[in-house]
Amino acid sequence: MKLSVIYDSKTGNTAQAGAWIAEGMNEVAGVEAKAFSITDADVEYVKASRGVVIGSPSYAALMTPDLHAWLQSNGNRLSLAGKLGGAYATAQFTHGGGDLVIQSILTFEMVKGMLCYSGGASFGMPVIHLGPVAINNNIEKHNSIDLYREYFMLYGKRFAEKASELFA
Ligand SMILES: Cc1cc2nc3c(=O)[nH]c(=O)nc-3n(C[C@H](O)[C@H](O)[C@H](O)COP(=O)(O)O)c2cc1C
């Protein structure tokens, strides 16, 4: 079963988080997961995927304009209806709008008819609320994104297990 992660990323954080999600997905037997930037997404692979996770940096507490434009112009080509959908964000600050970014991506996914999933509290700790958010906290030139590796991998694994339960 194919799964996809699609993201926009200008300085690498959201790309890194997406790679971790795909890595966690690939730990689940029978799953083949790939992560794509919107700049070189394999549309046919995404179309063939049973689940798609979409990620964005927080830009003024919104998804990036490039991701929004890409989703608007490519959304119909991806046959998203009926697929499992998830969302994640990276941000500089804990108060920087990561949850809002996720919420707007989930709203887009619901409009396209996707079945949205976060794991929520069903697995206990760490509770992944709407989706994972990584805070890079680089205000002091220190990028702490690496602290989030296990959390994003765990989200990818949980997402892939749910997709397998539903579709394999
Ligand atoms: C134009 C712009 C706007 C941003 N707005 C926010 C913001 O509102 N809140 C926040 O926490 N971080 C904000 N950031 C920081 C990015 O969300 C953060 O560094 C993110 O991890 C970058 O992801 P990337 O490395 O994948 O491009 C902004 C960055 C840019 C360039």
Q: Please give the distance, rounded to the nearest whole angstrom, from the Cα atom of residue 59 to the centre of ligand 1.
A: 5
**Residues contacting 108, CB < 8 A, separation 6+:** 54, 71, 75
Count of domains forming the chain: 1
Query: Nearest-CA neighbor of 46 among 104, 88, 102, 85?
Result: 85
What pTM does this model have? 0.97
Inter-axis angle of helices 13-25 and 149-167, nearest 10: 50
Specify the ligand 1 atom closest to the Cα of 136.
Answer: 21
**DSSP 8-state code for residue 119:** -
**What is d(CA 68, CA 125) in angstroms, rounded to the nearest whole number?**
31
Q: What is the CATH number of the domain that holds 105?
A: 3.40.50.360
pLDDT digits (tens, 9 = 90+) for 60-103: 999 999 999 999 999 999 999 999 999 999 999 999 999 999 99
Domain that holds residue 87: 2-167
Specify the ligand 1 atom closest to the Cα of 10.
Answer: 27
Name all residues whose Cβ lies below 6 A of ligand 1. Answer: 9-15, 57-61, 90-93, 96-97, 136
